[in-house]
Structure 1
């Protein structure tokens, strides 16, 4: 039985004013917050009941709304880029081997993994054989940006001759993970995810495909398969990445939920404005006549009005057809005496539409955590300082997403491959290592990932900043080149090869110091002295 609400009244029977410590917990100015009484809920209680509807709406927006599609594409291009490159860094101290052995081992691993993961012809990394690792990670980021999570299963597929490894990843549509037979959530199974008493995932229920009736059905079948999260010896079987925001959260929440109401309304607003613009572009030609009111009313109305109107219009048509006056081939309208030609046009006032549209797009950009200028493709009011501030703010967000979503997914794929490569003997551990793969899996699989480089608004200033950071000891070549989307080891090796080729060709070595001295902001000492 619900306890009755207790209200404190004054001597006149009016409710006493609230004594909240924070104004936000009161009724607000003029009682505006009086009806705002949301219920406290856990993350799953707020998300799971409407998970399918929210994700379906987000996918529909990305398919049909330009801003939503661009918002997802900004995530993909800034987080992943054209190549997601492995920078393998085994924790050699924890593994008991020397740094030199670790470097040699890392070079062999990087070469072997890249050969398998980025094979553009065979695509062995993908169970569907459609994607390279970079393509797969781009899809993961796009899916996560749309529905808040990404899923896949680790498959063991014995390939035909030419494939060294059986490891492959099958991408899983997030809608396929659901409770079997559409059953409700329980304490140990929520939206297709089995959990233990601590909330850790134990298994995933994956719905099969139904390929019949495309266009009339959703493409999902009526059978479910239980996929364990990992095997008994710790090999991962199901990949699931998302960023939890609350205690016990089981599934990811998509970013479009906070702007789900504004995006469709913006589309309707633009369509309405477009229709208005079309109407404004139309005009009407009106001929005013000095015909008397009685004669006009007789032509328009009365029993014989139709015949007289016909006679009048016929006479006008015959007159205009006969008056064929032209100037350089262009016909000049010659009106009857007493007629006047007027063009009636509609006004085309903006009425503040541009400012309203810009305000809504800024709201959407804030909800999607992307810079307004990049989302709207509008740099008309942007200065260098504001553009750089916006870019750096976006870059910080993208780097966080790269670490917890893209890099985590790629590291899970890398761990699956490294386990098989060591087991098959394609890769051999250094003899100095004191711990095996399963004893220190995290140390053996530790890796960094290099994605797209940071956008440079002023290339010269960006390069000079990197040089100063390196020379002052505040950064390294590895970090600065990673900001550009490059691997410093590859750059150094290529520079050695190029200098050797220049030497063999009789060319002088490049002078980076001279190039810096010729920068516009720093004149050579000889010119300053003169």
Structure 2
């Protein structure tokens, strides 16, 4: 009996087993030469970490789209003020809910007084940044380098109640001492234990001669432990691992770096082409070569004769009053003709190509295309809102995983000292700070509000969610970047002041009166 079944053979003529299409040769053998190596995250990232971060820095400094991509992360994740919403787990700490609310107000006021002091900036070891500025810088660094690094310092500052301060560290400075090769226990400048947990970090010094004539980093390394013997963090390192054993973070530009770099070159080339095409409106062509000109002049060649011929042509044209914008028809020399230069199409499909590349870059950076390109010309309300909400979901994930983690680490350092100094006094019967550190340091952070494309519709949506019991004032005001407790307290003050001034109380309008339904015509 003949076997008529179809068999697929490999390059050696052997029958192929059943595999996923993506792991095979592909239709027409397009995937035959695509053989990437299976590597861990560190093996793929660490050998090119320095170059990848340096290229991302260069793009952020010199490429407008890259700079905007970084700024979108900073503005949407952090905003102009990163507010603390302190939420101690009062049940686990052994205190009442009333005591927890009173403690939260005290902690928030003391923290804001120290962290957002924009006059002295005691929280910053360099005394240049407030707490919000530290978080904004951290998000910008995370976007271009994939991680945030800082050290916890203990410095006495005249006029400061606290000694806790933060020294930001660029990830460029964290590397293996004397550029040693990576090992199982030393990877990317990080000393790790057998599970891959960081034990200490090796940081290059910045005290070097000729600071501005190099990379600004010295040839000595300082080892900073991750934490003290009692658990106080000494080195703050925040990034989002993608698989087990990952030691350092990957920046957001790695997946789109090639396209972004070439887009800049494409724009420069197109701009130069447009400038050259616009420089010349007309040229005068002559059919006379140099030998014919020499014969007319009567010379036997040479540079002097050529110069005389060129000068005679110039004198003739000047005397003939040849003009372009004067509408006069020029009278040319024998053998000459006027050739009008028409500029080629300045676009020639460039806008579509540029938009396609920008969409690729926006997808790689996880930001809305319209916001990255600053182009809303082809966007409807529905598509713009869908794009912004999709981007908002990504930004909120980054706020929780990156910005809030970095902020909480700094807050925990301050709170430990505040308890130690007696600035914050826990309620009687509550656990000590070290017995319930995670519960004491539990908090939320309020950053920038969500962009409102149609404010009336979105306010109505928020009010309906509250009235339906699907949301709370705390959540809805947090979406606007506001603290509900501050809003309520301000409303009470305003009502009292209106009464004292003899003004009628504000009228709280129902949602149906404030924003009635507008049914679209079918």
TM-score by length of 1: 0.89
**Alignment match, 2:467:** 471
What displacement does 1:299 show? 4.6
**Alignment match, 2:3:** none
| Alpha-carbon separation, structure 1, partners of 2:167 and 2:322 | 76
Of 462, 468, 477, which residue of structure 2 is paired with 1:481?
477
2:492 aligned with 1:496 = yes
1:299/1:306 contact within 8 Å kept: no
2:432 aligned with 1:436 = yes
Instruction: Within 5 Å, give how 1:390-409 maps onto structure 2.
Output: 390-409=387-406
| Alpha-carbon separation, structure 1, partners of 2:189 and 2:46 | 11
Cα distance change, pair 397–518 in 1 and its aligned pair in 2 (3 A)? closer
| Alpha-carbon separation, structure 1, partners of 2:310 and 2:412 | 87
Of 20, 23, 26, which residue of structure 1 is paired with 2:21?
23
**Alignment match, 2:206:** 209
1:97/1:432 contact within 8 Å kept: yes
- Secondary structure at 2:151 match in 1: strand
| Alpha-carbon separation, structure 1, partners of 2:24 and 2:129 | 55
| Alpha-carbon separation, structure 2, partners of 1:185 and 1:117 | 38
**Alignment match, 1:451:** 447
- Secondary structure at 1:499 match in 2: helix
Cα distance change, pair 320–26 in 1 and its aligned pair in 2 (3 A)? closer
| Alpha-carbon separation, structure 1, partners of 2:294 and 2:27 | 62
Of 423, 428, 433, which residue of structure 2 is paired with 1:426?
423
2:252/2:364 contact within 8 Å kept: yes
2:9/2:15 contact within 8 Å kept: no
Instruction: Within 5 Å, give how 1:59-74 maps onto structure 2.
Output: 59-74=57-72
Deviations 1:129-180 (A, max 9, x none): 11100000000000001100010111111221x2100000111111211111
Cα distance change, pair 217–500 in 1 and its aligned pair in 2 (3 A)? same
Instruction: Within 5 Å, give how 1:301-312 maps onto structure 2.
Output: 303=300
Deviations 1:226-255 (A, max 9, x none): 111111111111100000001111111111
Deviations 1:363-391 (A, max 9, x none): 11111111111111111111111100110
1:149/1:241 contact within 8 Å kept: yes
What displacement does 1:295 show? 8.2
Cα distance change, pair 307–408 in 1 and its aligned pair in 2 (3 A)? closer
Of 508, 511, 514, which residue of structure 2 is paired with 1:512?
508
**Alignment match, 1:6:** none
Per mean C-alpha deviation after superposition, the further-off stretch among 464-473 and 513-522 is: 513-522
- Secondary structure at 1:501 match in 2: helix
- Secondary structure at 1:414 match in 2: helix
Instruction: Within 5 Å, give how 1:24-103 maps onto structure 2.
Output: 24-103=22-101
Q: How many residues align?
A: 510
What displacement does 1:333 show? 5.3
Instruction: Within 5 Å, give how 1:138-149 maps onto structure 2.
Output: 138-149=136-147
Of 182, 190, 195, which residue of structure 2 is paired with 1:193?
190
2:86/2:108 contact within 8 Å kept: yes
1:325/1:331 contact within 8 Å kept: no
Deviations 1:413-467 (A, max 9, x none): 111111101110111001142x211111000010000000000000101110100
Instruction: Within 5 Å, give how 1:85-484 maps onto structure 2.
Output: 85-160=83-158, 162-287=159-284, 299=296, 303=300, 321=318, 332=328, 334-335=330-331, 341-348=338-345, 350-433=347-430, 435-484=431-480
1:300/1:306 contact within 8 Å kept: no
| Alpha-carbon separation, structure 2, partners of 1:107 and 1:232 | 31
- List gaps (5 residues or longer) in structure 2: 1-6
2:294/2:305 contact within 8 Å kept: no
Deviations 1:334-366 (A, max 9, x none): 526988644222322533211111111111111
| Alpha-carbon separation, structure 2, partners of 1:66 and 1:337 | 50
1:144/1:150 contact within 8 Å kept: yes
| Alpha-carbon separation, structure 2, partners of 1:412 and 1:314 | 78
Aligned-CA RMSD value? 3.0
1:27/1:34 contact within 8 Å kept: yes
1:125/1:168 contact within 8 Å kept: yes
1:320/1:333 contact within 8 Å kept: no
- List gaps (5 residues or longer) in structure 1: 1-8, 524-530
What displacement does 1:325 show? 11
Per mean C-alpha deviation after superposition, the further-off stretch among 174-183 and 488-497 is: 174-183
Cα distance change, pair 276–522 in 1 and its aligned pair in 2 (3 A)? closer
